[in-house]
Chains A and B, each alone.
Chain A
Amino acid sequence: MATTSISERTTVDREHGLFLLREMLRIRRFEEKAAEMYSLQKIHGFLHLYIGEEATGVGTMQAFRPEDAIVATYREHGHALARGLPSTVLMAEMFGKATGCSHGHGGSMHFFDVSRRFYGGYAIVGGGLPIAVGLALADKLQNKQRVTACYFGDGAVAEGEFHESLNLAALWKLPVLFLCENNLYAMGTALVRHQAQTDIALKAASYGLASQAVDGMDVLAVEAAAKQAADAVRNGNGPVLLELRTYRFRAHSMSDPDLYRSKEEIEEWKKRDPISLFESRLREWRLLTEVDGTRLEREVAAEIDEAVRFAEASPFEPVEELLKDVSGPLKC
C-alpha cells in the first residue's frame, strides 16, 4: 500500500501553519523538559517520550471535535497536549501531585480528562482498543454522531485485542478511527522481527476496514488524511484505520539503553524530523519568518516553565484519601 504524501499539493494558511508548528513545538519542548525532570528525580516510574512523532498526534487531532472521544496509550503526552489538556496539569500529574490530570494516581502513562473526553492512556499494549470500540458502540446505540479516536502503536498489532477490535468495529460498523502510530519498534523489537506481514493498513483492509498508510512525518499529510477519515467515520461509513508511518527519536523509555537499532538509522530518520521538515516548508512558502520562530520558541518555553512551576508548587493528595477513588458515586 502506497504511502500518501499530500504536502506537495497542499498548502496551508499562515495562521494555521503557525498553529500546527506551535503545537508540535509544545510537545517537543514539554518532552525535553519531562526528560530533564526525570533525571532530576522529579518524575518517577516510566516515562515514554514522543519526540519524533509529533506530526501524527498534532495532525490527527485537528480532525476531532469537542464531542469526540480520544483513547490513547502510555506514550500519550503528545495526544493530551494536542487535545488541549493544559501542560500544567500534565506536568503536575507526572510529579504525582493532586492537581495532576489524574490526581497523581496515574503518572506519565495514565492521563485522563473527562471534560475533554480524553479517556486515558492505556499501558497494556492493545488494551485501549476494546474501550474505544465500546465508546463508539455507546454512540451508535444513542444515535450520537461522534467519532472515537483510538491511538496505538505497531506493537499493538501483535495483540489479539487488535484483531478482535478491528473485526468487531467493522462487523458492527462502529464510528471508530483507529490511528496506528507505526514507529517501527515494539519496545525494542523491530516490526520486521515481530510481524510476518508488516503492512498494517493491509491487515486492517482484511477485516473490512477502509485503511490507508500516511507519511507520519508530514503534519499536513496527516491532517488531511485524518480529516477525510474522520468525516467518513462521522458519516456512519464504519471504522477506518490510518497507519501513520513515523519514528521515535528517543529510546522506548528512560530506562532503555537503545541497543537494538543503529545510530545511523536514527540519524537517517532525524533528517525527516517532522518539526524541521514543516518549518522549512513554511519558510519555503514564506509563511514563517525568523521573528516568528524566535517568538514561538519563547512563548513555548514560557509555557513549559510555567508547567514546571505549577507542578512544583502543587500539593500532594493527602494520604488519608488513598482509598477514595476505588468505588463510589455514579459519574457517567
Chain B
Amino acid sequence: MLTQMTYREAVRAALRQALRSDPRVFLMGEDVGRYGGAFAVSHGLLAEFGPERIRDTPLSESVFVGAGIGAALGGARPIVEIMTVNFSMLAMDQILNNAATLRHMSGGQFNVPLVVRVATGGGRQMAAQHSHSLEGWYAHIPGIQVLTPATVADAYGMLLAALREPDPVFIFEHATLYPLEGEVDETAEPVEIRRAAVRRSGSDVTLVTYGGTLGKTMQAADLLAQDGIEADVIDLRTLRPLDRSTILDSISKTHRAVLVDEAWRTGSFAAEISAQIMENAFDDLDAPVARVCSAEVPMPYAKHLETAALPKVEEIVSAAQELISRHG
C-alpha cells in the first residue's frame, strides 16, 4: 500500500518501524530528542519511545559515534545521527580507526552492526562548514558501507535494510531532499541496497549520479529528450559496495557517460567511477567520460555564488550534448 509522504517523514517512518520491531534499536545524536532533530526527522519519537531509546547527546561527535560502535559490539542496534557531514570529521577517528577496522583487526571475531545517518550537501546557503559532500571520502574506506538514498522510497527502505547489515553502514541524506514528496510502501519487503537503480531509460548517453543530484540529473534528462537525446539515468544508491555492472551495462548500450557528483571534482567519487569505466569499458566508449562536479572552492554563502559552485542542470545538458556532437 503506497503512502504519500516527504523524505523527512519517510526516514522518520523507518526509524519508528525499527524502534517498534526491535527492542535493541535506539537512536542517539545531537538534539534528536527534545528538539526533534535539527532537520525535524526524529520529531515525536521521544514522546513515543522515551529518553532511554531516543538519546540526546552532548556535542561530542567522537564519543557518541564511538559509543555507537561499543554499543553495537555489546549487542545493541544503535542508530547514530550526525547533524552534518562536516561535523562528522570530529568523529573520523572512531569511524576510520575503529568502526571500519574492528572485524578485520580482531581476526573476524567481532563485527559492528552500527547505522550512522549523516545530513550532507549544499544548496541551502549554509556556507563553508555545513554544506559539503564528503560521501566519496567515506566510500574510500573498506569495512564500511556508504548509502545515498535519493528518493523518498529509498529514504525509508534503505534505512531498514541498513539495520539488517552486520557491518557499519553510513547513510548520507542530502539535506535539500527532506521536503521532497514521494510514495512509500511501508508493507513492502526490505529493499536491495547493493544494486543501482536505472531511473530513466535511454540509449544515447548514460548519466550517473547519486543522492542530492538525482533531481538535477532527471531534469537534465528531460531537457535532453526535448532535443531528441535519450539518456539512461543511473542512481548509484550505494557508493560502497559499488554496483559496477549496472554502469557498465548501460555504457555498453550508450557508449557515452556523464558523471554528476556534488563533491569537488579533484579526487571525487566521480573520478573513481571514471577510472572503473576506463578499466572495464574502454572499448565501449565513443567519447571520453565527462564529469559535472562542484567548483573547487569552500561553499560560499551568497546564493548566486553557491549556485555557481554547485553542479547545474545546464552543465549536465551541455556535457551530454557535447559528448554527442563532438564524438557522435
Binding site for B on A (CB under 8 A): 69, 100-106, 110, 112-114, 119-120, 122, 124, 127, 129-139, 141-142, 148, 160-161, 164-165, 167-168, 171-172, 324-332
Q: Scoring B residues 28 to 70 as 1 if CB is less than 8 Å from chain A, else 0, what string do you get?
A: 0000000000000000000000001101011010111111111
The one of B74, B98, B109, B113 that contacts A127, using a Cβ cutoff of 8 Å: B98
Contact in complex: A102, B106 (CB < 8 Å): yes
Within 8 A of A (CB), among B94-123: 94, 97-98, 102-111, 113
Q: How far is the CA of A106 from the CA of B108 in the complex (A)?
A: 11
Cα A35 to Cα B66 with chains together (Å): 33
Interface residue B72 (Cβ < 8 Å from any Cβ of A): yes
Range for the number of chain B residues in contact with chain A: 35 or more
* Cβ contact within 8 Å between A142 and B105: no
Once A112-B107, A135-B70 are accepted as A-B contacts, the answer to whether A327 and B166 lie under 8 Å apart by CB is yes
Q: How far is the CA of A114 from the CA of B102 in the complex (A)?
A: 12
Inside 8 A of A124's CB, which chain B residues have their CB?
93, 97-98
Q: Chain A residue with minimal CB distance to B100?
A: A326
Q: Given A102-B107, A324-B108, A134–B52 Cβ distance below 8 Å? A: no
Is B157 close to A, CB under 8 A? no
Asked if B66 and A167 sit within 8 Å, CB to CB, the answer is no
Chain B residues near A325 (CB, 8 Å)? 103-104, 106-108
Q: Which 6 A-B pairs have the closest CB atoms?
A: A134-B70, A130-B66, A138-B74, A103-B107, A134-B67, A112-B106
User: Among A102, A130, A329, A332, which residue has its beta carbon within 8 angstroms of that of B62?
Assistant: A130
Known: A110-B105, A331-B109. A130 touches B166 (CB 8 A): no
Chain B nearest CB, measured from A143 CB (Å): 10
A120 and B105 contacting across the interface, CB-CB below 8 Å: yes
- In the bound complex, how far is the Cα of B55 from the Cα of A171, in angstroms? 12
Is residue B76 within 8 Å, beta carbon to beta carbon, of the partner chain? yes
What per-residue 1/0 map shows which CB atoms of B77-95 lie under 8 Å from chain A? 0100000000000000110
Q: Report the separation of the CA atoms of residues A103 and B103 in the bound assembly, to the nearest whole angstrom.
A: 11
What's the least CB distance linking A166 to chain B, in Å?
9
Partner of A106 from the list B52, B94, B107, B113 (CB cut-off 8 Å) is B107
**A residues within 8 A CB of B103?**
325-328
**What are 25 inter-chain pairs, A to B, with CB distance below 8 A?**
A102-B107, A103-B107, A105-B106, A112-B106, A114-B110, A119-B73, A120-B106, A120-B110, A122-B98, A127-B94, A127-B97, A127-B98, A132-B70, A134-B72, A136-B70, A138-B70, A138-B76, A139-B74, A167-B58, A168-B63, A325-B108, A331-B166, A332-B72, A332-B74, A332-B110
- B70 and A137 within 8 A (CB): yes
Cβ-defined partner of A134 (8 Å) among B71, B109, B113: B71
A contacts with B: majority SS: mixed
Q: Report A-chain residues with C-beta under 8 Å of the C-beta of B64.
A: 130, 168
- Does B211 belong to the interface (CB within 8 Å)? no
Q: How far is the CA of A268 from the CA of B133 in the complex (A)?
A: 56
A104 touches B107 (CB 8 A): yes
Residue of A nearest to B65 (CB): A130
B69 touches A332 (CB 8 A): no
Whole-angstrom distance from the CB of A116 to the nearest CB of chain B? 11
* Docked-complex contact B107 and A330, CB < 8 angstroms: no
B69 → chain A closest CB, angstroms:
6
Which residues of B sit under 8 angstroms from A164, Cβ to Cβ? 58, 60, 62-63
CA distance A284 to B190 in the complex (A): 70
Contact B142 A332, beta carbon cutoff 8 Å:
no
A141 CB contact (under 8 Å) in B26, B58, B109: B26
Asked if B65 contacts A106 (CB within 8 A), the reply is no
The reply on B149 being an interface residue by CB < 8 A is no
Contact between chains at B52 and A168 (CB < 8 Å): no
Q: Are the CB atoms of A138 and B73 closer together than 8 Å?
A: yes
Report the separation of the CA atoms of residues A167 and B78 in the bound assembly, to the nearest whole angstrom: 20
